[in-house]
Chains A and B, each alone.
Chain A
C-alpha cells in the first residue's frame, strides 16, 4: 500500500460524501479506502498525541461502513484493533458499533472475542458480546465456536445460576430460558420447576445495530461472487448456517432439516446406542431402552426410524424439543421470511414432512395446531392446500367456540369465496376430521351423570400422543354443532353450485358419516338430520349418484332413530324388571322371619348412553323425507302432500 496516497486520501477528505468524486467510487475502491482507514487507525491507536486522528478516522470509517459495511478481512482487522487494548473504552465501543458485516462473519472473530473475555473492561466486553449475539446467524461456521460453550459458563457465577436466589432477587429471563432448553434435553439435570413466561426470552440486545446490519446485507445481497465465496466456506461445516441475504432468507435456500446423529452422550454412559447404528427393526427392538436419541430431534421429520421410536417412547421433553424447532421454522418461513418461490417450496417441503409424520403417528404436533391458527387467517386457500387440509383433519377435539374461532371461521370465509372444487375438498377434509373424532371410544368414557363430559377416571386412557382432552368440555355438543355448521355451509354451497359433482360428493360424504355416527361408530349423541334444502336438492338433482346416496343417508338416519327407540325401550323393560324384583324382595322379607336380607340390594340398570333431543316434531319432520321419497320412487305419487307426514318436497303446487 502506498503511504502517500493514503495520506492524501485521508488527510484531504475528512468528510465523506461531501466530495462528489467520493460518491462515484466503485465498491472495490470503497473497500480499499476502508482498509486504508483501518490501517491508519491501527497505526495511530495508543500513540501519544494521535487520538484526535484516530477519532476523526473512526468517524470517517463510520460514514463509509454505514453504506458499504465491512468485508470479512476488514472485520477481522477492525476487531483486532478493538482487542489490542490500545483504544480507550469510549473509542473502542464506537469502533465495535462500526463492525457492520457486509457478507459473512469469520468464525475466528467469535473465537477471538470469547478468548479475550476477562481481559477488558466490562463495558467493552458487554458491547462485544452483544455484537456477537447479533451476528451469530452470519458466522461462516460454528464447529470450533460451539466448543467454547463452557467458556460462557465459566464466567457465569454460581450465585447467578441458583434459582432459589433468583426467586428472592428477581428472575433473569435469559437464564431461565437457557435452563428450559437444558431441561428439554435432559429433564433429570434440572429438577427444580421453571416458571414459564410468555415474554420474549432472548431479545435482540441492540435492535438498531441489528437493523443496520440487516439493511447493509440486504443492500449488497446481489453480489453473486460474495454469495459463492460464502457458500464455498460453508462446505465441511456441521450444518450450513449462513448464506447471503437476511437471516431469515438464509434459512430458505437450503434444507434445514438436520440429519439424525448423536454427538453428545449423556454423562459417561457408553451403553447408549446411537440411532445411526440401528439398521433393522430387530435391532431397534433390542436397543429400544438404551437408544440415544439424536441431538437435533427435528430430524424426526425425515427419519422414519426415529418416528417409530418417537411413537414408542413419547415424552413431553421430546415434544417440546421438536416443538421449539418446528414452531420457529414454520413461523420463519411463513410469517417473517420474504415470500419467494424458494421459500414457498421450502415451506411446502416442511409441511409435507409434517404431514408424513402426522399420518404415521396419527396425531398433530401441538405446535402445528398453534401455527395453523394465525396461518388460516392469512391463507388464500390455494397454497399447500392438500397439506393444510390433511393437517386440519387431525385437529384435536375441543369446545366448538374455540374450534369455530380459530379454524372454522377463517375457513368459512375462504369457502364462500372459492370454487366448487375447493368447497368439495374442504367438506371432505371436515369429513375426515369428524371421522377421527368419531373413532374415539366416547361411549365407553363419557359419564352421562356429569353432563356428557369425560369422567376423571377415563381421562388418562383417552390421551393421544399429544392430544390432551379437557375434562370440562362437552365433546358431544362440539360434534353436534360442528355437523350443524357444515350443514349450513352445505346449504349455501348448494345455492351457488347446485349440480356440481364435487360439492355434491363433499356434502354427501359428510352426511354419510354423520348419519352413521350413532350406529356404526356408537357415538352417544342425538342424530342431527340435514337441512331439508340439502335433502331435496340432492334427491332432485340431475345426477343419479346424488339421488341414490341421499336415499342411503336417509335410511341410515332412520336406522339411527330406530336404534335410539330400541335402546330406550330395552332400558324401560330392564327398569320395570328391576322394580318388579325389588318389590318381590320386599314382600319376601316381610312374609319371612322378619329379618331383612344382609346382602346389598342390586343396583338399578345403567341408563343407555343416549342424549335427549328427539322431539316429536323433529321425528315427524324426518319422516316427511322418508314418505316423500317413497311416494316419489315407488308409489307414483310424487309431490303428494295428502299422505300422513308427506310434504311433497315442499314444492308449491
Chain B
C-alpha cells in the first residue's frame, strides 16, 4: 500500500508541476507533507491527502479498506453522509432541469 501511496503523491506532484528537487522522497506522513509544503513542494495537508488517497484507492477497486474506514472512522462517516445528502439534492434538481428542456 505504501507503493500505491508513493505513486499517488507523484501523480499529485505532476498535476501541480512541482519541480523534481521539491518533490517528496519517502513515505507520505503528517510531518513529511508539512515539510514539503513549507519548502514549496506539494501544498496539501496530511488530513486532506489521506482522504484523497482513500478516494483514489476506491477507484482502484480496494473496496474493503475504503468501506471499512468509511464506516469505522467518525470523520469519514460524517463526510460520507454529507456526500450522500448532496447527491440526493442533485438528484432532486435533475428532473426540474430535464423538464426545462423542450
Instruction: Please list the residues of chain A having a beta carbon within 8 angstroms of any beta carbon in chain B.
Output: 544, 547-555, 558, 626, 629-630, 633-634, 636
- Which of chain B's residues 54-101 have a Cβ closer than 8 Å to chain A? 57, 62-69, 71-73
Contacting pair B63 A552 (CB below 8 A): yes
Interface class of chain B by DSSP: helix
CB proximity to A under 8 Å, residues B38-57: 50, 57
| Pairwise interchain contact A634-B69, C-beta atoms closer than 8 A | yes
In contact, B62 and A636 (Cβ under 8 angstroms): no
A555 touches B4 (CB 8 A): no
Contact B1 A547 (CB under 8 A): yes
- Given A548-B57, A551-B68, A552-B68; 6 other pairs, CB 8 A cutoff: A548-B66, A550-B64, A552-B63, A555-B72, A630-B73, A636-B30
Is B29 part of the binding interface, using a Cβ–Cβ cutoff of 8 Å?
Answer: yes
Q: When the two chains form the complex, which single residue of A548, A558, A636 contacts B63, counting CB atoms closer than 8 Å?
A: A548
In contact, B63 and A544 (Cβ under 8 angstroms): no
Nearest 5 CB-CB pairs, A to B? A552-B64, A551-B68, A548-B64, A548-B62, A551-B64
Q: A544-B4, A548-B63, A633-B65 are in contact. Are A555 and B50 (CB under 8 A)?
A: no
22 contacts between A and B (CB under 8 A): A544-B1, A544-B4, A544-B62, A548-B64, A551-B64, A551-B65, A551-B67, A551-B69, A552-B65, A553-B64, A555-B64, A555-B68, A555-B71, A555-B72, A558-B71, A626-B72, A629-B68, A629-B72, A630-B69, A630-B72, A630-B73, A636-B30
Write the chain B residue with the least CB distance to A546: B64
A555-B71, A555-B72, A630-B72 as given contacts; A547 in contact with B65, CB under 8 Å: yes
CB distance from A508 to the nearest CB of B (A): 9
Q: How far is the CB of A637 from chain B (nearest CB, A)?
A: 11
- Residues of B contacting A548 with CB < 8 Å? 57, 62-66
CA distance A634 to B30 in the complex (A): 11
Please state if B50 and A634 are interface contacts (CB–CB under 8 Å). yes
| A251 to B71 alpha-carbon distance, docked (Å) | 62
Instruction: Chain B residues near A554: list those with CB within 8 A.
Output: 68
Instruction: Tell me, rounded to whole Å, the shortest Cβ–Cβ distance linking B55 to chain A.
Output: 14
Q: With both chains docked as a complex, state the minimum distance between the C-beta of B9 and any C-beta of chain A, in angstroms.
A: 16
How long is the Cα–Cα vector from A30 to B4 in the complex, in angstroms? Answer: 84
- Looking across the interface, which residue of chain B has its beta carbon closest to that of A554? B68
Cα of A544 to Cα of B57 in the assembled complex, Å: 10
Chain A residues within an 8 Å CB radius of B71:
555, 558
Write out the residue numbers on chain A whose beta carbons fall within 8 Å of the beta carbon of B1. Answer: 544, 547
Point out the residues of chain B lying under 8 angstroms from A547, CB to CB. 1, 64-65
> Do A555 and B67 touch (CB < 8 A)?
yes
B20 to nearest A CB, angstroms? 27
Distance in Å from the Cβ of B86 to the closest Cβ of chain A? 23
Given A544-B4, A552-B67, A636-B30, answer yes or no on A558-B62 (Cβ-Cβ < 8 Å): no
CB-defined contacts of A630 to chain B, threshold 8 Å: 69, 72-73
Give the distance in Å from the alpha carbon of A47 to the alpha carbon of B1 in the complex: 102
Q: Which of chain A's residues has its CB closest to B30's CB?
A: A636
B50: chain A residues within 8 A (beta carbon):
634
A551 to B63, CA, bound (A): 9
Whose C-beta in chain A lies nearest to the C-beta of B62? A548
B95 to chain A, nearest CB (A): 33
B44 vs chain A, min Cβ distance (A)? 16
With the chains together, A549 CA to B57 CA distance in Å?
Answer: 13
Chain A residues near B63: list those with CB within 8 A: 548, 552
Instruction: Kindly identify which residue among B29, B69, B72, B73 contacts A558, using a CB–CB cutoff of 8 Å.
Output: B72
Shortest distance from the beta carbon of A316 to any chain B beta carbon, whole Å: 47
| A630–B4 alpha-carbon span in the complex (Å) | 18
B26 CB, nearest partner CB in chain A, Å: 14
Chain B residues near A544: list those with CB within 8 A: 1, 4, 62
Chain A nearest Cβ from B32, distance in angstroms: 11
In the complex, which residues of chain A have a beta carbon less than 8 angstroms from the beta carbon of B67?
551-552, 555
Which residue among B62, B63, B65 has the maximum number of chain A CB atoms within 10 Å of its CB?
Answer: B65
